[in-house]
Amino acid sequence: MDGTNAMTSRLGAVSTGSALELRGVTKMFGALAAISDVTLTVRPGERRAVLGSNGAGKTTLFNCVTGDFLPTSGTIRLFGEDVTTFPAHERIRRGLRRTYQISLLFTGLSVADNVYLACRGVSRGRFSLLRPRRGDPLLTRSAELVEAVRLTAARDRLVSELSYGQQRQLEIALALAGAPRFILFDEPAAGLSPTERAELVAILTGLPSHIGFIIIEHDMDVALRVAESVTMMHNGRVFKEGTPAEIETDPEVQELYLGGGHG
Amino acid sequence: MADITKSRTDTPTLWVERVHPAVWALGLVMLFMPAFANGFWLFQVFGWTFILGMIALSLMFLAGYGGMVSLIQMTVAALGGYGVAILGPSGVAQISLGLPWWLYVPLAIAIAALFATLVGALAVRTEGIYTIMITLAMASAFFYFTRQNYGIFNGYSGFNLVVPPQLFGVDWRQPVPFYYLTLGCAALAYAAVVYVARSPFGLALQGTRDNPRRMAALGFNVTAHRIAAYTFAGAIAAVGGILLVWQNAQIAPGTAGLPAVFDILVIAVVGGLRRPSGAFVGAFIYVLLRTFSPDVLTAFGLSNERFKMLIGFGFLAMVVFSPDGVLGLWDRWRARAGRRDPLTGKERG
Ligand SMILES: Nc1ncnc2c1ncn2[C@@H]1O[C@H](COP(=O)(O)OP(=O)(O)O)[C@@H](O)[C@H]1O
Ligand SMILES: [Mg+2]
């Protein structure tokens, strides 16, 4: 735990504010503590990988940060503001974005409409009764996003007709809508082919440098290529924090990763 | 579902060119109906169809696009009707305020829409069967309240002599003017729903129906969106309710009694909840049954009260055999016919 604190203060010193700051966040499901006493600070623009075996609490951590669930205790600050009890949409409007481990898309809509909804969600006119006209800036922006995740050829296809890999790309497009400042990627590479993985890495490394993110990733190759810092989780707790090199060579991590089951 | 991005970006055609010829034909028949239908058909059958169709349309909007089965729509309509009776002139001079029409009509719609919004605010926190139960509870509370309240709602007897204003020197309760009045309102309500379904608001509403969690993660306030849907649907129901009072020239608690509340659900389900036109198809079937089945039943020596049983069986058959209503049956028949060889009549597979 000493290492954690040293890391936190080191990173905190680099910039004045933090993008994300968790203090003692615990989430109970009945008697089960899915995450317990998680304290974590991420700088604006920082790219962090979260590692940990299945059931370590990584997705639950994301759900607490985005407001999909409220934490049982602890505080969550987003760009310095206490958002612990804010509903999800309020956090999203402050620049937070996420993708889901299991794609959560509008399967009855086309790719373009999915992205349009995402763009609309973080801009004015969510309640507009007027249909968008040709040349509407949001339509242009949606088309750019579809392009950015390399789905232009499939833009008018229904999401239900897309391949698994394409659905994962669309997940990312939805998280890039508007002006994201901090993104949570939940296992974006899971189930992708090597080519698709390479594309994903290109998308992630190509993000503007002011956009920070946390990526949950089992594939060390992907994680270490896109992240500058690593948080290791185990049994709902933060187990280790450090640079990729520190984590890779840490004997305890090695033991956990080789000894314990990971999926 | 809606195709908001597609229809706007690459359609150089005029909207008139995109309307199906059958719709034009139906529109023309509707427009010239008074040339071949008598007063009874115009006023009683078509007028009532358009009115009930609008109220059922408000339910279709909530249920079809928002996934919220609300049983409050008939009550909202009745409140709109009570609104014109109380704010405008009626036979109950000690209660009715006798305001001018340009004041009492918009006020009645606004009050009913506000009521719908409040009901929505309570109901949207529930899901599925609980939405049905909470809206049903409020519908029956409204019924008993109007029956016991004499100060505002004039209790059991309600209001009589509630007629449309003599605008442009026309008596709007005459069959032909009333036909055009209800047709015009129904067409506007239908067009509004079709248009709004593909607006950002409508698309987002469908998003909250399919995937509320993702909608919140995209920055949408799902609760507010659902409540706003109640407001929009409430305004449509209120217009239907006002026309209903004008048609009957009276309103009483029974207008929004539980049988009427369920009838709206039956109409919407029988017509089909997936498309706005279903509400009018359902209403037409309902009105035909209500109007003509008593005669048919008595001809067979049965009590004319049995028409309720007929409607009940129809509803049951729909729910069992075609949950997406008559329009669903029609779609499937068309799809089958499309696959058939036009010469042999055999399915092409
Ligand atoms: N909605 C939920 N209800 C009950 N238990 C849950 C729920 N979500 C997660 N859990 C439990 O919390 C623990 C952590 O899960 P999760 O955060 O999904 O882990 P990870 O993403 O690291 O694989 C697991 O034991 C899981 O079963
Ligand atoms: Mg997970």
Nearest ligand to the C-alpha of residue A100? 2
B348 contacts B340 by C-beta, under 8 angstroms: yes
Q: Has residue A179 been placed in a domain? A: yes
Percent of chain B with pLDDT over 90: 53
Tokens of B185: 């309102």
CA distance A247 to B102: 74
Among protein residues, the one with the nearest Cα to ligand 1's atom 18 is A59
SS3 label, residue A223: helix
SS3 label, residue B269: helix
Q: Has residue A68 been placed in a domain? A: yes
| HEC letters along B14-32 | CHHHHCCHHHHHHHHHHHC
Backbone angles phi, psi at B168, to 5 degrees: 55, 30
Nearest Cα of chain B lies from the Cα of A41 at a distance, in angstroms, of 22
| Cβ <8 Å between B217 and A66 | yes
Q: Is the pLDDT of residue A4 over 60?
A: no
Per-residue pLDDT of A61-77, as tens digits, reads 999 999 999 999 999 99
DSSP states of A29-83: ETTEEEEEEEEEEE-TT-EEEEE--TTSSHHHHHHHHHTSS--SEEEEEETTEE-
Q: Is the pLDDT of residue B193 over 60?
A: yes
Q: Compare CB distances from A133 to B1, B8, B216 and report the shortest one's residue.
A: B8
Compute the distance from residue A63 Cα to the ligand 1 centre, in Å.
Answer: 10
Domain locations in chain B as residue ranges = 2-257
Chain B interface includes A103 (CB < 8 A): no
Rounded mean pLDDT of B131-136? Answer: 93
Q: Compare CB distances from A126 to B9, B204, B214 and report the shortest one's residue.
A: B204
Q: Has residue A208 been placed in a domain? A: yes
Closest residue, chain A, to B215 (C-alpha): A121
Q: Considering only residues B9 and A208, tell me which one the structure prediction assigns the higher pLDDT.
A: A208
Q: Report the pLDDT value the prediction gives residue A256, as an integer from 0 to 100.
A: 76
Please report the atom of ligand 1 found closest to the CA of residue A60: 17
Q: What mean pLDDT is reported for chain B?
A: 87
Burial B166-198 (b: 16+ CB within 10 A, else e): eeeeeebbebbbbbbbbbebbeebbebbeebbb
| Chain A environment of B203 (Cβ under 8 Å) | 109, 113, 116-117, 120
Q: Report the pLDDT value the prediction gives residue A9, as an integer from 0 to 100.
A: 47
Q: Considering only residues A33 and B167, tell me which one the structure prediction assigns the higher pLDDT.
A: A33
- Per-residue pLDDT band at B4 (split at 50, 70, 90): low
Q: Which of residues 136-165 of A touch B (CB under 8 A)?
A: 136, 139, 142, 155-156
Number of structural domains chain A divides into: 1
Percent of chain A with pLDDT over 70: 92
- Per-residue pLDDT band at B133 (split at 50, 70, 90): very high
Q: Is the pLDDT of residue B254 over 60?
A: yes
Compute the distance from residue B105 Cα to the ligand 2 centre, in Å.
Answer: 55
Beta bridge mates, A242:
A230
Rounded mean pLDDT of B116-133? Answer: 91
| Cβ <8 Å between B199 and A109 | no
CA distance A148 to A206: 10
Rounded mean pLDDT of A142-162? Answer: 91
Compute the distance from residue A228 Cα to the ligand 1 centre, in Å.
Answer: 26
Q: Compare CB distances from A132 to B8, B215, B217 and report the shortest one's residue.
A: B8
B3 contacts B10 by C-beta, under 8 angstroms: no
Regarding the beta carbon of A34 and ligand 1, being less than 6 Å apart is answered yes
| Chain B environment of A120 (Cβ under 8 Å) | 200, 203-204
DSSP states of B100-161: -HHHHHHHHHHHHHHHHHHHHHHHTTS-THHHHHHHHHHHHHHHHHHHH--SSS-GGG-EE-
The stretches of chain A forming alpha helices (DSSP H) are 2-14, 58-66, 88-92, 111-121, 137-148, 164-175, 194-205, 220-226, 244-249, 251-259
B239 contacts B185 by C-beta, under 8 angstroms: yes
Q: Is the pLDDT of residue B290 over 80?
A: yes
Q: Report the pLDDT value the prediction gives residue B54, as an integer from 0 to 100.
A: 97
Q: What mean pLDDT is reported for chain A?
A: 87
- Per-residue pLDDT band at B336 (split at 50, 70, 90): confident
Looking only at the bridges linking them, the beta strands covering A96-98 and A182-186 are: parallel
Q: Compare CB distances from A131 to B8, B213, B219 and report the shortest one's residue.
A: B8
Chain B interface includes A110 (CB < 8 A): yes
Q: Has residue A86 been placed in a domain? A: yes
Domain of residue A79: give its range: 2-258
The ipTM assigned to this model is 0.86
Q: Report the pLDDT value the prediction gives residue B6, as an integer from 0 to 100.
A: 56
pTM of this prediction?
A: 0.87
Compute the distance from residue B5 Cα to the ligand 1 centre, in Å.
Answer: 37
Q: What is the CATH number of the domain that holds A197?
A: 3.40.50.300
The tokens 């999203």 sit on which residue? Answer: A92
Residues of B engaging A, defined by a Cβ cutoff of 8 Å: 1-9, 195-196, 198-204, 206-207, 210-211, 213-222, 225, 228
Per-residue pLDDT of B28-54, as tens digits, reads 888 888 888 787 888 889 999 999 999
Rounded mean pLDDT of B142-150? Answer: 94
